[in-house]
Amino acid sequence: MFPNENDEIHYFFLFLQLMKFKASQIAAILNGTIDGNEDVSVSKLAKIEEGEKGSISFLSNVKYTSFIYSTKASVVIVNDDFKPEKKISATLIRVKDAYQAFTQLLTYYNQAKLDKKGIESPSFISDTATIGNEPYIGAFAYIGENVKLGNNVKIYPQVYVGDNASIGDNTTLFSGVKVYSESVIGNDCILHANAVIGADGFGFAPTEKGDFIKIPQTGNVVIGNKVEIGSETTVDRATLGSTILKDGVKLDNLIQIAHNVVIGENTVIAAQTGVAGSAKVGKNCMIGGQVAIAGHITIPDNVKIGATSGVASSPKKEGVTLQGAPAMEMRDFYRSAAVFKILPELKKQIDTITKKLNQNQHAKPKYDKN
Amino acid sequence: MFPNENDEIHYFFLFLQLMKFKASQIAAILNGTIDGNEDVSVSKLAKIEEGEKGSISFLSNVKYTSFIYSTKASVVIVNDDFKPEKKISATLIRVKDAYQAFTQLLTYYNQAKLDKKGIESPSFISDTATIGNEPYIGAFAYIGENVKLGNNVKIYPQVYVGDNASIGDNTTLFSGVKVYSESVIGNDCILHANAVIGADGFGFAPTEKGDFIKIPQTGNVVIGNKVEIGSETTVDRATLGSTILKDGVKLDNLIQIAHNVVIGENTVIAAQTGVAGSAKVGKNCMIGGQVAIAGHITIPDNVKIGATSGVASSPKKEGVTLQGAPAMEMRDFYRSAAVFKILPELKKQIDTITKKLNQNQHAKPKYDKN
Amino acid sequence: MFPNENDEIHYFFLFLQLMKFKASQIAAILNGTIDGNEDVSVSKLAKIEEGEKGSISFLSNVKYTSFIYSTKASVVIVNDDFKPEKKISATLIRVKDAYQAFTQLLTYYNQAKLDKKGIESPSFISDTATIGNEPYIGAFAYIGENVKLGNNVKIYPQVYVGDNASIGDNTTLFSGVKVYSESVIGNDCILHANAVIGADGFGFAPTEKGDFIKIPQTGNVVIGNKVEIGSETTVDRATLGSTILKDGVKLDNLIQIAHNVVIGENTVIAAQTGVAGSAKVGKNCMIGGQVAIAGHITIPDNVKIGATSGVASSPKKEGVTLQGAPAMEMRDFYRSAAVFKILPELKKQIDTITKKLNQNQHAKPKYDKN
């Protein structure tokens, strides 16, 4: 899967800083056994060949085995069946699979790293906002009037939460997310950096002079629970009523969700796709990258749409797989696309036939005369 | 139009906080008449079935009529012709169309809500910047050297306005907008969250070694009056001279406008479209979502371009409607697309003909012998 | 190249503020000679017809010549061979090419303008961060724990640099850039406003219930030297290991680079293109706008891909030029696209043939009887 996974991890090692852990604590996390001093502390990950005092490393790929005898790392994670041929100064933590244990450690580290708490200064929190237990509010974050934050909410630096917005328990807004007023975000959601929720829908009424008058966008955005939204994705507020992302929706980066759109439960959409105004997308759909879905249409449940497709009308059946612009059933698209590739030859073939037939037609009178 | 509009609004009700209004003030706004205590105050919108003291609700859909007799809402907006069958404790405001009156109230609320004033702290305003009357400058906003802000400008939190930029009267920059130095933005414009104006155009000169040298982008961006720009849209500065959006241009979200592009008056562009370097787009054009317009071409006035099209050369006529990649007249595109769908059958038909003709040709000698 | 370059520059003139320079200093920068008072100071650029005391202008286009006798500009840049016909009050700086000298001045101004130094207040800098020599850190910037900033780094206002990230010498992060934890950015890079580096890759494992569990994204992003990244571009962190942009890569605006992607040296990608997870793009490739590159494929070195193409499988040869979705060799695509345009006529031609052949077949028995 990762042809050179160890090398990749080795590369990665250079950058990571840990909190301070004892070998015994790490062994407990990894469900491993200790060979050596269990009280030695580490605060850093390092490549085995570059390990130094206070760092932890791992040995999985046999080509790095020789380094375990010379490494200055304080702790090395090894496979259960590793048998040293010489004396090793490092404390060993033996686990079933050293590589997997290491990824487990990364995940643990990741969770610990993201478990920020407290309110940094300066931040701007309106007197009328209510904040749940154990918040993280980063510096330069802005919490508007009447905002409601649930418990264990994490608001990273430079986030903006407009007046009257509400954000559910355990939801994380990464740096630069902008939530316009009246938006409602559920529990256990993750919004990535610079996503924009609740900006005005794109609605203008033409005048006789050829210019446009803005139609006020007085609705809002309502986002369910366990929704993840990628960086730079935009979800516009409704003209009236709500633009809705239901529970479990996952949106990748740079996606456009227009006003009054509804996306059904557990539908997953890849990067740079756009859903135009008032379209309704069913539940459990899987939509590829750079897809365009036209306004006011309905995508039934369980539909799959291949990358770069353009869907201009409502598919009639649940569960179909679509491709192309305009979109059609995927197997039909690929059959037609195969012929598209040979269209010049096909045209030549047709022209040859026509020519031949015309010659035959000139020739025909002979037969007619027979 | 909205099949279940009342339900949508009912949903919406949950989130909205009003300033404190007397029934008499709301009746005046809505041009309605009062039935009951005109001095009762409300500060909240609520569903009619969930109304509580201090809230205002409305009754339009007859299926909710029963709730008006039990609601605890202090004020209910009703249609002129509503005849109570029992005693109602709430103050009634009678209007021609309760539903429309409610949307009017939302619009009013929207305007009031967006009418922020004052300078929040901390913000960063250069000593050399000049600021017009009645500004709103949100916390963590940054106003650079020699910046000129007109009257009634609204700069939301976390906006950046670079050195020497100027912003006209009544223009609003929502949270996270970034305006690079020297950019010029007109009057009555709205820029939505995280839009970026005036970043470097994408220009590099290749060297003999295969790498690239950056071409300095020393121009700027000039935006006219009454322009609206969506969230996350990028308008790059010119290499030299100006990238120009003329009066009345409306750009949706996630649009790319490259260096030295000019967009004509009142042209409207939907989300995720890209206009490449030095292209000129005429006035009163309507361009769909995810369209690609090639560099250095000219789109005449009044051209319409369907979503997901790719326009690689200058259309010759004003007012044409284009579709496809490469783009052609829309009706021609759909005719060709209809044949694309049956290409496999068409190929079979051709192969059958060829086979038949070859058989005939084999058969022909017989005739020739006759 | 610029049909009305002087007009464009004249337009531009309105907005530019210079630091204070003596005529002699400007002449030295431009390698020009002085005609008049070399001690006169200017601090502003102006159109020649609108020049005022303390401003510098230029004369290149002959149609503006008459203004040089009446301008109040203190300094005017002219071509070497310019011969005044009347008395001129301004100091002249004579250069080989006044137009080119002016663009040189703009470039100089641009460099000086961007050469910001110092740490503005308020900004948030972790105690554990290390900062090189001569930094610029703008107001409301956030520098997390253990961050390492090289020498001469410029961090514009409202930038976020997450924990453990490192940024090389001479690199500039414009306003609103968000760098997640553990990201590594090389030397001499430029990241434009609101770019996001290191957000979670889009990875979810489906459950039997039809919803999804998030796969932890514990890798990072590694960016080489001399890389430029456009506004609103997103580069996701790897699931494990690193998403890598090698030296000299240039990315335009609104591009999506998914987790575990590798982009080779000096590859250039235009706006709104997306590269899906684990794809590998070779070196010295040139990729147009709105291109989609599928996950897990490999693009060889020196490949060119036309705008709006969709590449779903690995091209076999280096250096090919591709177009279309699905992509094929560009010349083949345009041959097929030419036939696509006439598909309705082609279908008619085929139907005519079929009809004729069927008539012939009806007619055939006659011959058979002969």
> Which DSSP string do the residues of A65-89 spell out, in sequence order?
GGGGGT---SEEEEETT---SS---
Q: What are phi and psi of B361, to 5 degrees?
A: -65, -40
Please check whether residue B240 is in contact with residue B221, taking contact to mean a CB–CB distance below 8 angstroms: no
pLDDT at B243 over 80: yes
Instruction: Tell me how far apart the alpha carbons of residues B80 and B93 are, in angstroms, rounded to a whole number.
Output: 9
pLDDT at C369 over 70: no
pLDDT at A149 over 80: yes
> What pLDDT sits at residue C71?
92
> What pLDDT sits at residue B362?
62
Q: A121, A140, A191, A227: best mutation site toward chain C, by most C Cβ within 10 Å?
A: A140
User: DSSP code of B199?
Assistant: P
- CA B46, B50, B52, B58 dihedral sign is positive
* Higher-confidence position of A6 and C242: C242
Inter-chain residue contact C176 with B176, CB threshold 8 Å: yes
Q: Is B143 helix (H, G, I), strand (E, B) or coil?
A: strand
Q: C47, C124, C231: best mutation site toward chain B, by most B Cβ within 10 Å?
A: C231
Task: Please report which confidence band the pLDDT of residue A264 belongs to, taking 50, 70 and 90 as the band edges.
Answer: very high
Label the pairing between strands B190-191 and B310-311.
Answer: unpaired
> What pLDDT sits at residue C134?
97
Task: Please report which confidence band the pLDDT of residue B38 belongs to, taking 50, 70 and 90 as the band edges.
Answer: very high
Please check whether residue A292 is in contact with residue B292, taking contact to mean a CB–CB distance below 8 angstroms: no
Instruction: Tell me how far apart the alpha carbons of residues A301 and B76 are, in angstroms, rounded to a whole number.
Output: 39
> What pLDDT sits at residue B269?
98
> What pLDDT sits at residue A13?
39
Select the residue of A2, A113, A353 nearest C163 (Cβ to Cβ): A113
> What pLDDT sits at residue C218?
84
Least confident of A98-102, A176-180, B8-12, C315-319: B8-12
C139 at interface of A, judged by CB pairs closer than 8 A: no
Please check whether residue C230 is in contact with residue A25, taking contact to mean a CB–CB distance below 8 angstroms: no
Å between A87 CA and nearest CA of chain C: 31
Instruction: Tell me how far apart the alpha carbons of residues C158 and C180 are, in angstroms, rounded to a whole number.
Output: 14
Select the residue of C103, C140, C337 nearest B218 (Cβ to Cβ): C103
Least confident of A189-198, B96-105, B141-150: B96-105
> What pLDDT sits at residue C14?
34
| Residue type for position C44 | K
Q: Where would I find the beta strands (DSSP E) of B276-365? A: 280-281, 286-287, 292-293, 298-299, 304-305, 310-311, 321-323, 328-329
pLDDT at B329 over 50: yes
Instruction: Tell me how far apart the alpha carbons of residues B290 and B325 are, in angstroms, rounded to a whole number.
Output: 11
pLDDT at A291 over 50: yes
Q: Which long-range contacts (CB under 8 A, 24 or more apart) does A94-100 make?
A: A94/A32, A94/A33, A94/A34, A94/A35, A95/A30, A95/A31, A95/A32, A97/A60, A98/A58, A98/A59, A98/A60, A99/A5, A99/A6, A99/A9, A99/A58, A99/A60
Chain CA centroid to CA B87, Å? 46
A343-369 and A330-341 helices cross at what angle (nearest 10)? 70
pLDDT at A6 over 70: no
A124 at interface of C, judged by CB pairs closer than 8 A: no
> What pLDDT sits at residue C63?
86
- Above pLDDT 90, what percent of chain A? 72
Chain CA centroid to CA A365, Å? 71
Residues making up chain C, counted from first to last: 370
| Residue type for position C140 | F
Question: With left for phi above 0 and alpha for psi between -120 and 50, is residue A10 left, alpha or beta?
Answer: alpha
Instruction: Tell me how far apart the alpha carbons of residues C10 and C347 are, in angstroms, rounded to a whole number.
Output: 56
Q: Which residues contact B370 (CB under 8 A, 6 or more apart)?
A: A370, C370
- CA C9, C11, C13, C15 dihedral sign is negative
Residue-wise pLDDT tens digits, C191-236? 999 999 999 999 998 888 989 988 888 889 999 999 999 999 999 9
Pinpoint the alpha helices (H) of B71-134: 98-114
> What pLDDT sits at residue C363?
57
Task: State both tokens at C56.
Answer: 């510098």
Nearest Cα residue in chain B from A345: B347
pLDDT at B20 over 90: no
Å between C210 CA and nearest CA of chain A: 7
Annotated active-site residue in B10, B259, B296, B362: B259
pLDDT at A88 over 50: yes
Residues of chain C numbered 77-106 and touching chain B (CB < 8 Å): 103, 106
pLDDT at A15 over 50: no
- Above pLDDT 70, what percent of chain A? 92
Please check whether residue C286 is in contact with residue C300, taking contact to mean a CB–CB distance below 8 angstroms: no
Total-model pTM: 0.87
Q: Which residues contact A100 (CB under 8 A, 6 or more apart)?
A: none
What's the average model confidence in pLDDT over B47-58? 84
Q: What are phi and psi of C149, to 5 degrees?
A: -110, 130
B345 at interface of C, judged by CB pairs closer than 8 A: no
Select the residue of A178, A242, A338 nearest B194 (Cβ to Cβ): A178
User: Is the peptide bond preceding residue C326 cis, with omega within 30 degrees of 0?
Assistant: yes
> What pLDDT sits at residue B10?
38
- CA C7, C10, C14, C15 dihedral sign is positive
Nearest Cα residue in chain C from A265: C211
What's the average model confidence in pLDDT over B64-78? 93
**Predicted-complex ipTM score:** 0.85
* Higher-confidence position of C104 and C225: C225
| Residue type for position C22 | K
Q: Which residues contact A363 (CB under 8 A, 6 or more apart)?
A: none
User: DSSP code of B300?
Assistant: P
Residue-wise pLDDT tens digits, A109-141? 777 778 899 999 999 999 999 999 999 999 999
Residues of chain B in contact with residue A210, where contact means CB-CB under 8 angstroms, are: 266, 284
Inter-chain residue contact B268 with A212, CB threshold 8 Å: yes
What's the average model confidence in pLDDT over C1-25? 51
> What pLDDT sits at residue C5?
38
Task: State both tokens at C363.
Answer: 């007619």
C239 at interface of A, judged by CB pairs closer than 8 A: no
B354 at interface of C, judged by CB pairs closer than 8 A: no
Task: Please report which confidence band the pLDDT of residue C113 belongs to, taking 50, 70 and 90 as the band edges.
Answer: confident
> What pLDDT sits at residue B320?
97
> What pLDDT sits at residue B349?
93
> What pLDDT sits at residue B55?
86
Task: Please report which confidence band the pLDDT of residue C256 belongs to, taking 50, 70 and 90 as the band edges.
Answer: very high
Inter-chain contacts counted by CB atoms under 8 A, chains A and B:
192
Helix H or strand E segment including B234: strand B234-235
Residues of chain A in contact with residue C219, where contact means CB-CB under 8 angstroms, are: 8, 12
Instruction: Tell me how far apart the alpha carbons of residues B163 and A362 are, in angstroms, rounded to a whole number.
Output: 80
In our burial notation (b when 16+ CB lie closer than 10 A, e otherwise), range C169-202 reads: bbbbbbbbbbbbbbbbbbbbbbbbbbbbbbbbbb
> What pLDDT sits at residue B304?
97
Q: Which long-range contacts (CB under 8 A, 24 or more apart) does A349-358 make?
A: A349/B350, A349/B354, A350/B350, A350/C346, A350/C349, A350/C350, A350/C353, A353/B350, A353/B353, A353/B354, A353/B357, A353/C353, A354/C349, A354/C353, A356/B357, A357/B357, A357/C353, A357/C356, A357/C357
Task: Please report which confidence band the pLDDT of residue C9 belongs to, taking 50, 70 and 90 as the band edges.
Answer: very low
Instruction: Tell me how far apart the alpha carbons of residues B50 and B334 are, in angstroms, rounded to a whole number.
Output: 52
Average confidence score pLDDT of chain B: 90
Helix H or strand E segment including B146: none
Å between B159 CA and nearest CA of chain A: 10
Please check whether residue B58 is in contact with residue B99, taking contact to mean a CB–CB distance below 8 angstroms: yes
Distances (CA, A) of A175 to A101, A190, C87, C162, C193: 30, 11, 61, 9, 14
- Above pLDDT 70, what percent of chain B? 92
**Token pair 């899906």 is at which residue?**
C276
Least confident of A184-193, B247-256, C14-23, C255-264: C14-23
Instruction: Tell me how far apart the alpha carbons of residues B85 and B81 are, in angstroms, rounded to a whole number.
Output: 13
Query: Which among B286, B233, B279, B288 has a CA at the least distance from the CA of B255?
Result: B233
What's the average model confidence in pLDDT over A285-314? 97
Neighboring chains of B (3 or more beta-carbon pairs < 8 A): A, C
> What pLDDT sits at residue B168?
98
> What pLDDT sits at residue A45?
73
Task: State both tokens at B18.
Answer: 């009003």
> What pLDDT sits at residue C7?
40
Instruction: Tell me how far apart the alpha carbons of residues C49 and C63 are, in angstroms, rounded to a whole number.
Output: 12
* Higher-confidence position of B206 and C111: B206
> What pLDDT sits at residue C368?
44
Query: Which among C58, C327, A145, C89 has a CA at the least distance from the CA of B120?
Result: A145
Q: How many CB atoms lie within 10 A of CB A164?
A: 22
| Residue type for position A340 | F
> What pLDDT sits at residue C362?
62
> What pLDDT sits at residue A331?
96
Nearest-Å Rg of the Cα atoms of chain C is 30
- DSSP code per residue over A239-292: SSSEEEE-TT-EE-TT-EE-TT-EE-TT-EE-TT-EE-TT-EE-TT-EE-TT-E
